[in-house]
Structures are given as C-alpha cells and as structure tokens.
C-alpha cells in the first residue's frame, strides 16, 4: 500500500514540478492585477488559474490567488521571492508564494471517534488528498491499527487536564521533529492551550460537530436534541484561543426531525463531519484560503 501511495504522490509532484501559487491580501487600488501579471510574464510564467475578490471597490481590501506554471521554478525560488517582495512593499501586501512540488507535511490528532481520521486516510490513499501525512497523534490507542497498517508513525500520548503541559511539550517537540506544516484535529477531544495555538497560527484545522455559532463547546448533539433543532451541521475552522470561534473554512447541514434521538443525530452528523473536514483540509493544502480578521476568503 505504501508504495502505491508514494507512486501517486511522486506522479503528482512530477506533473506539477513547475507549478507555483501566489496568495495576496492588500488594500485595494488600481494596478495590482496588471503589476502581478507583468511580474509573472517577465519570469516566463503562464497563469493557469486566477481568482480575485474586493470587499469594497472604494477603500476595501483586495484578495487574489494565482496558480501558474514557470519553467525551472524550483531553481528560481529565491529570485522570485526576493523580486516580488519589492512589489509587495509598494502595495502594502501580505503575501505567500508556495511551490506545489513541496507537499505540505501534516499531523493528524485524534481521540476515540475515528470517522474523520478514516475519511482523511481514505482520501489520501485514493490520491485526492495530496499531502505527506507524517504522523498521527492520539490520546487513545483505538486508531493505532489502521494508522500503522499504512506505515504512518503513530504516537500515543495519554492526555488530560492534569498533564496537559507535559503532553503539549512532547507534541510540540514531535511537530518540530517532523517539520509539520498543518495540524488536523480529527475529533481530537482536548482543548489546546494558548501557547500551543500561538506556536502554529492558522495552521491548526478543527472539526466541530455543530453548525457554528450554535452549540459551541462540548456535547453539541445533546444540546441540539434538547433544543429540538430541525437542522444539524458541522463546521471546520482554524483554531484560535477563543473556543470554537476561529475563522470558519467550511460548513454543511442536514435536515432532521422530531423522530431523531440523540444517537440518530450523532450517526447522521458523522457523515457531515467527515466531508466538511476533508474539504477544508484540501482547500488549505491547495492554498485556497486567506484569513482576514476572523473570516476567510476561500477561492
């Protein structure tokens, strides 16, 4: 299985070895698109996909995502970054230039509920989640078998309120050791401390089993049942120090009625959670998300 997955990854990297992505966020003014396009043209790049959005044509913010092909791009990395920096300064840009060949390395955190983990692993095996899953971290042993069967390192770290500081210290060491770019909380039922979150700003994606902002925190299905809701949902968002209030990446809902008991809500909700988290992770991996305040622009 490992060889098949590695072959898929290598084929993807080879087919996109000259592909780059540019994300831009800046005050809106005339000339941005023309200047960026000219810069890419001067370096022999061909624009494959371009998306843009302005919050307000008069004094708003401008957002842009460009995906482009550029011959021998990997040998031009530093030149492209250094030369674009001058443009960025002239337009007061926040920007990020990434190279598709350099797959992002991810770590998945999980507890006892394994449906989101299984979905991510299935998408990864199927070649639809292009990332290097470097390790899986869990405070339970339940997922060890399915993870190690795919030759992915599994790290069991029992966690509770009493040992949170020691646990996070070890987790942070692992994330540094494996050079992790993205942390995915696939129903990891532990609250992260401010120091952990601040070490990885907007690089931690969570799935909350509710259509936020409804039913923030624990046991949302129980509270949804007590409230008699007619819709249940799931929300994938970046983690901040405000519980379940980080920038939302993706959401979805499912209609329910008075016949559904709590366990029915949970069972139905799992399918929403799986798909919502998988989409959010894909969009992040494809550099389609720009965070602006406590909102996101998803191209």
- In which residue are the tokens 């909102």 written? 295
Domains 17-99 and 105-298 share a fold: no
- Nearest Cα to Cα of residue 138 among 116, 153, 157, 152: 157
Asked if the model's pLDDT at residue 120 lies above 70, the reply is yes
CATH 3.90.550.10 applies to domain 105-298: no
Per-residue pLDDT at 1: 60
Q: What is the pLDDT of residues 6-44, one digit of tens each?
A: 888 899 999 999 999 999 999 999 999 999 999 999 999
With b meaning 16 or more CB within 10 Å and e meaning fewer, what string describes 227-254?
eebeebbbbbbbbbeeebebbbbbbbbe
Q: What is the pLDDT of residues 130-162, one digit of tens each?
A: 999 999 999 999 999 999 999 999 999 998 888
**pLDDT score at 162:** 84
| Percent of the chain topping pLDDT 70 | 99
On whether the pTM is more than 0.75, the answer is: yes
Please state the domain extents for the chain: 17-99, 105-298
* pLDDT, tens only, 213-267: 999 999 999 999 999 999 999 999 999 999 999 999 999 999 999 999 999 999 9
Report pLDDT for 294. Answer: 96
Task: Please give the C-alpha separations between residue 6 and each of 17, 124, 127, 132, in angstroms, as whole numbers.
Answer: 16, 10, 10, 9
Cα dihedral 209/145/123/10 (nearest 10): 140
**Across 166-179, average pLDDT:** 97
Length of the chain: 299
Give me the pLDDT at residue 93, please. Answer: 98
Q: Examine the pLDDT at 62 and tell me if it is beyond 90.
A: yes
- Please give the CATH topology (third level) of the domain spanning 17-99: Alpha-Beta Plaits (3.30.70)
Of the candidates 86, 132, 222, 244, the residue annotated as catalytic is: 244
What pLDDT score does 298 carry? 98
The answer to whether 102 is a known catalytic residue is no
């Amino acid at each position: 299985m490992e060889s098949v997955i590695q072959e898929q990854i290598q084929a993807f990297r080879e087919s996109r070895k000259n592909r780059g992505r540019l994300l831009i966020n800046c005050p809106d003014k005339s000339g941005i698109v023309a200047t960026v396009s000219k810069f890419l043209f001067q370096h022999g790049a061909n624009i494959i996909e371009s998306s843009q959005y302005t919050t307000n044509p008069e004094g708003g913010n401008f957002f842009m995502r460009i995906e482009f092909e550029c011959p021998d791009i990997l040998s031009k990395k530093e030149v492209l970054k250094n030369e674009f920096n001058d443009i960025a300064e002239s337009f007061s840009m926040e920007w990020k230039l990434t190279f598709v060949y350099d797959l992002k390395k991810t770590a998945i955190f999980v507890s006892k509920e394994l449906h989101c983990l299984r979905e991510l692993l299935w998408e990864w095996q199927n070649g639809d989640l292009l990332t290097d899953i470097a390790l899986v971290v869990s405070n339970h042993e339940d997922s060890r078998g399915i993870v190690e069967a795919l030759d992915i390192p599994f790290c069991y770290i029992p966690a509770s309120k009493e040992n949170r500081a020691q646990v996070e210290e070890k987790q942070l060491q692992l994330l540094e050791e494996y050079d992790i770019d993205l942390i995915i909380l696939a129903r990891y039922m532990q609250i992260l401390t401010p120091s952990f979150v601040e070490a990885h700003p907007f690089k931690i994606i969570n799935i909350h089993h509710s259509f936020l902002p409804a039913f923030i925190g624990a046991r949302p299905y129980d509270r949804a049942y007590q409230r008699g809701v007619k819709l249940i949902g799931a929300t994938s968002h970046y983690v901040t120090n405000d519980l379940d209030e980080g920038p939302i990446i993706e959401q979805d809902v499912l209609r329910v009625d008075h016949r559904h008991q709590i366990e029915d809500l949970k069972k139905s909700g799992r399918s929403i959670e799986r798909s919502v988290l998988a989409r959010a992770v894909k969009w992040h991996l494809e550099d389609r998300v720009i965070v602006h305040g406590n909102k996101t622009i998803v191209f």
